[in-house]
Structure 1
Amino acid sequence: MAPKVLVSDALSETAVQIFRDRGVEVDYLPDLGKDKEKLAEVIGNYDGLAIRSATKATEKLLERATRLKVIGRAGIGVDNVDIPAASKRGVIVMNTPFGNSVTTAEHAIAMMFAVARQLPEASVSTHAGKWEKNRFMGVELFNKTLGVIGAGNIGGIVIDRALGLHMKVLAYDPFLSEERAAEIGAKKVELDELLAKSDFITLHVPLTDKTRNILSAEAIAGTKPGVRIINCARGGLVDEAALAEALKSGQVAGAAFDVFATEPATESPLFGLSNVVVTPHLGASTTEAQENVALQVAEQMADYLLTGAVANALNMPSVTAEEAAVMGPWIKLAGHLGGFVGQMTDEPIKAINILYDGVAAGMNLQALNAAVIAGVMKAANPDVNMVSAPVIAKERGIQIATTTQDKSGVYDGYIKVTMVTGDRERSIGGTVFSDGKPRFVQIRGINVDAEIGAHMMYTRNKDLPGVIGTLGMTLGRLGVNMANFTLGRAAAGGDAIAITYLDEPLPEEVRQALLETGKFEQVRPLAFEV
């Protein structure tokens, strides 16, 4: 029997025809996604669900989706899909992460022109029958310095377009190497230098704990007087209230925003300011972009339903069904190893070297590599997956090296990940025990045996008496409970490390309290998807 797909949001007829041409039965009901009750009544009849943003794939809906194998989102955002619930039910969730890139980059460039030449205000004035030629004095983009925060896929396209306008480009991106920066024509700088030297600043990073309010009141105060700021990435990257004050004072000459901290944005400190251009999250709103993502999602879903091939999946590795049964725990281990080194550094990454030993060396190394890279990249961008992470790493010039060897130690299989930054290397090794649970077994060359939990803490210290007692007493005094604890040392009196499995995320005040004891050289919170 041919697989059957429901398209419950508006997709192009061309995309719908792709399903039919490939032999997939399809029902095109573009308004059904808005009717939750009716959708729930019929969802049990389908193997695939193709959506945009109107359909909400909730846990309740998924409970009724007894045949469903795949959800395809035409676009990048999957806020309307309960991914954990889908994963529990074995439903693959796919998106199309790169279909909107050119459109979003072009919108950022358009917004830069608009704020430089005051185009919206000038248009309103002229429509009103005024001829205020002297009122709207703009600035050229030619020979100006553009600061790009985030030089990934979209940021890279913006850089390319800016160079075509003969702008000078500074780029701040922790994952951008010097070599990659030179290749794309940008000068790699730290954030403070970018802020101080840029005539225009455009943001192209995801919203994470590290990037939230990356342009804070303090950061805005450090910008070049008269700067113009463009945000077509995510709301929350800029402190809107602080920016409004800087616009009023003249520290910032203008701003152009397509995204806001709260959306739909019916009010904002930026609204009503004459030197601000605003649009209602139009970054992906072009005919071409909407067509591209629709065609991509149709191809991906058809491929999976007909051949089992998986592309751009957010909740499963790109491996065959046969491999998945054996590789599942090893893929999880690979992701945890990458996650560890990714969370342990704030420096630009030059290379990721991966060693596979024993049984691990005979597995699907492409999938394992992707899991490692995704683990590393998630520290800065939680939206990456095993498909997109290698692409992003390549774009940023990160070298990936893989080595295999026959069983060389006490473990049947072993994976070691070494991350190379500007002036140091960080390494961690792990294995999968017979119970199927991944473990960390070596960190910085020091042997350990660490169970992996959702909330963990890494500490480094000199091997001296009293350290363990200080750690336990400090955590106990501040109400943090340990689920598990493992430690190791290089040699008596030398470097020592500990991995503590906690019941909750490590509070910042507890981390500071441990450092203030003087016993620890490093205290780092870690989080893993277990």
Structure 2
Amino acid sequence: MPKVLISDKISNRAVEIFQERGVEVDYKPGLSPDELKAIIGDYDGLAIRSATKVTPEVLDHAGNLKVVGRAGIGVDNVDQHAATAKGVVVMNTPFGNSITTAEHAISMMMACARQIPAANASTHAGKWEKSKFMGVELYGKVLGLLGAGNIGSIVADRAQGLKMRVIAFDPFMSPERAEEMGVERVDLDTLFARADFITIHTPLTDQTRNLLNASAFDKMKQGVRIVNCARGGIIDEAALRDALDAGKVAGAALDVFAQEPAKENVLFGRDDVVATPHLGASTEEAQENVAIQVAEQMADFLLTGAVTNALNMPSVSAEDAPRLKPYMKLAEQLGSFAGQVTETGIRRLVIEFEGHVAKLNTKPLVQAAIAGVLKPFSDAVNMVSAPVIARERGIEISEVKHDRPGDYQTLIKLTVESERFTRSVSGTLFGGDKPRIVDIKGIQVEAPFSDNMLYITNQDKPGLIGHLGTLFSTHGVNIASFHLGRTEAGGDAIALVELDSEMSDDVLAEISALPLVTQAKRVNF
């Protein structure tokens, strides 16, 4: 039974879902970093919100950890690079609190436009300063979206309902998507120059850190108002203070800050700044939604292999996971075979799909094949970490899908280009779920994958099989099955020999020394 730790406060519904699915769960919010490191090695999954920091040090203690699930959108409290290197899937729940966060952004924009918090405080103090709080309408104003993803698109829809004109900067937004949303795609400088209000809906990355800095404020329209319900650190807070002092920025509404919890900040105490304590996702509906989603996603992954909303691995639906499972096994075993018989540095891997498999979601199959190739070189490799390790080693990865009839209903071909040669191996599924090798280096051969195998390349001349039989008999090695193939009579030939037990180094050395043998390698799966 998989075991999950919940280390932050989330809805108890998450606990119930894990238990209903057959996953053991411990609910221990508020653990210190040392307490977390002391127990994390016992768990297959870790469910968090924003309080728990999943650092490289925590991951070093998490020997069994397979998945980290963030109940929410932002994962800046998870070291994704370290998690990927450890083979840990990182998931979030990008849709569970989208409406709530978008509504908060709209609320903050209205509060900023009409100075509602300051007017509220003044009225409660009995001042009745009606003339002091002169606001602006949203009607007809230009709203600039920095980021037009899920939350940004909801904000656009709500703003259009308020009769605002919406422009957006998002390098990933296609013209078709912009047309569908009813927004105008613009570059960043154009957005700064035209927007009356700017709302931020982008993650905090190296590219977006301090995106709104002194230079950006200089390019903005006089009297612009800024709303940030995304992530602190995207705005240079000192530069925003200076822009407010200068009157360039008329007001700001901030739900997030560079340092949180924000007990002190250069923007606090100002009537022209509306501040809330990271409330974007703080509604009963949102907290219930993200708790349900993270529990369902993690349980599906741990129990079926389904991958949903992962940030470092291709998605695999719960429906696709059983269908892809035999193909993933085939891809990994083909990769393992290639990796075990490759003796020099790998430059390039080409994974080709033909027939039925070409119509499936092949991205997980590519990662399975890469993991298989690299596994003989490092025990730390799995499907999550394999692409990163390949990239670090300078290995080029290519994927090809063929829409053509072939000898098999489904076929996966893996080609390894190394420093000395190019070698390919192909496989298919017999009976729908039984992986078989069907081609090695262009030589047709049909063989199952098994625990103890001998791979031999040799010259096709009489005597090899007799020599092998005598040698195996002498050392008490029993043959389970014997599979042969050749290019032509007297040409290059291969043999795949399935053995009942593991063969010793001494026996392998004797086989390698036989006159007709070019290469002899032990392979196991």
Instruction: Give the TM bin, normalised by the shorter chain.
Output: 0.5 to 0.7
Question: For residue 171 of structure 2, what is the aligned residue in structure 1?
Answer: 174
Match of 2:184 among 157, 162, 187: 187
Shift of 1:67: 3.6
Q: Which deviates further from its counterpart, 212-221 or 165-174?
A: 212-221
Separation in 1 of the partners of 2:256 and 2:334? 39
Match for 2:23: what amino acid?
V
> What's the offset of the Cα at 1:329?
12
Following the alignment from structure 1 to structure 2, what is the Cα–Cα distance between the partners of residues 436 and 258?
54
Shift of 1:127: 1.6
Distance (whole Å) between structure 1 residues aligned to residue 157 and residue 65 of structure 2: 42
Pick from 202, 214, 217 the counterpart of residue 217 of structure 1: 214
Q: Deviations over 1:495-517 (max 9, x none)?
A: xxxxxxxxxxxxxxxxxxxxxxx
Q: Aligned residue for 1:200?
A: 197
Q: Identify which range, 200-209 or 135-144, moves more after superposition.
A: 200-209
- SS of equivalent residue, structure 2 residue 178: helix
Q: 1:329 to 1:151 in 2, by over 3 A?
A: farther
| Structure 2 SS opposite 1:290 | helix
Is 2:2 the partner of 1:19? no
Contact 1:329 1:436 in 2 (8 A): no
Superimposed CA distance per residue, residues 392-448 of structure 1 (whole angstroms, 9 cap, x where no aligned partner) = xxxxxxxxxx9734599xxx999xxxxxxxxxxxxxxxx9634599x9xxxxxxxxx
- After TM superposition, list the pairs within 5 Å mapping 1:110-189 onto structure 2: 110-189=107-186
Q: Secondary structure at the match of 1:433?
A: strand
Answer whether contact 1:9 1:29 (CA < 8 A) is retained. yes
Per-residue Cα deviation, 1:80-111 (whole angstroms, up to 9, x for no partner)? 43444444444333221222221221111111
**How far 1:297 sits from its partner (Å)?**
0.9
Q: Of residues 305, 308, 311 in structure 2, which corresponds to 1:308?
A: 305
Equivalent pair of 2:229/2:256 in contact (CA under 8 Å): yes
1:275 aligns with 2:258: no
Please tell me whether the aligned partners of residues 357 and 406 of structure 1 are also in contact (alpha carbons under 8 angstroms): no
Secondary structure of 2:131 counterpart: coil
Contact kept, 8 Å, 2:40 with 2:61, in 1: the verdict is yes
Query: Counterparts of 2:151 and 2:300 in 1: how far apart (Å)?
Result: 27
Cα shift at 1:266: 4.1
| CA displacement 1:36-85 (0-9 Å, x = unmatched) | 44444443433332222333444444444444333322122334434444
User: 1:265 Cα deviation (Å)?
Assistant: 3.4
The answer for the alignment partner of 2:6 in structure 1 is 7
Specify the alignment match of 1:366 in structure 2. Answer: 361
List aligned pairs for 1:15-414, cutoff 5 A: 15-31=14-30, 34-318=31-315, 320=324, 322-324=326-328, 358-359=352-353, 362=357, 366-368=361-363, 404-405=402-403
Unaligned residue ranges in structure 1 (runs of 5+): 332-355, 373-385, 387-401, 415-430, 440-530
Task: Kindly state the Cα deviation for residue 327 of structure 1 after the two structures are TM-superposed.
Answer: 5.1
1:115 is displaced (CA, Å) by 0.7
Q: Using the alignment, how far apart are the partners of 1:172 and 1:81 within structure 2? A: 27
**Residues 150 and 41 of structure 1: is their aligned pair in 2 closer, same or farther, counting only changes over 3 Å?**
closer
The one-letter amino acid of 1:433's match is V
**Structure 2 CA distance, aligned partners of 1:39 and 1:303?**
24
CA RMSD between the two structures: 3.6
Is contact 1:256-1:277 (8 Å) kept? yes
Q: Any stretches of 5+ residues in structure 2 without a counterpart?
A: 317-323, 336-349, 368-383, 385-399, 423-525
Equivalent-residue separation in structure 1 for 2:64 and 2:110 (angstroms): 50
Q: Name the CA distance, whole Å, in 2 between partners of 1:328 and 1:238.
A: 45
TM-score between the two structures when normalised by the length of structure 2 = 0.61
Displacement of 1:357: 8.4
Structure 1 contact 358–405 (Cα < 8 Å) conserved: no
Q: 1:217 to 1:329 in 2, by over 3 A?
A: farther
**What's the secondary structure of 1:99's corresponding residue?**
coil
| 2:470 matched residue in structure 1 | none
1:465-484 map, 5 Å: none
> Structure 1 vs Structure 2: percent identity of aligned residues?
59
Contact 1:311 1:318 in 2 (8 A): yes
Aligned AA (2:253):
A
Look up the match of 1:473.
Answer: none
